[in-house]
Amino acid sequence: MQLKTDQKVIAGEELLLCPECGFHCIHPICVKVATGKKVVSVDAEGTIITRAPTPETIEAVNRRGARIYLEYCCENGHHGYIILQFRKGNTFVEHEKLPGSDKATLWRD
């Protein structure tokens, strides 16, 4: 997967676009960082550290590196993860589609 960005919507700024439709209005819902031993999740409800096997920690072990998940929804209804997989000095970019979501946007306050 290649990340899509646009520098024309707001002058001097580079915006991340929806991987499915290319729209510039995407909302972060949750950020997860997974290692083989734990996953740290930050969403609108707060921060959670899980020190038990989860799908994310298992995938980090299987891929032999840390994984960063940016869960997003776009204003056209697309929902998914943009995943950064770190392994052996390289960072790979992946995308996973998810079913629709009504989760809250991760705001600054």
Range of the domain at 49: 26-97
User: Considering the domain boundaries, does residue 13 fall inside one?
Assistant: no
Tell me whether residue 11 is in a domain: no
Distance CA 30, CA 103 (A): 9
| Percentage of the chain modeled with pLDDT above 70 | 97
What pLDDT score was predicted for residue 107? 77
Q: Write out pLDDT tens, residues 3-43.
A: 888 888 888 888 889 998 999 999 999 999 999 899 999 99
Tell me if 64 is assigned to some domain: yes
For residues 81 and 91, the answer to whether their CB atoms sit within 8 Å is no
User: pTM value?
Assistant: 0.86
Are 81 and 39 within 8 A, CB to CB? Answer: no
User: Where does the chain have alpha helices with state H?
Assistant: 55-63
* Number of domains within the chain: 1
Tens-digit pLDDT profile for residues 70-102 = 999 999 999 999 999 998 889 999 999 998 878
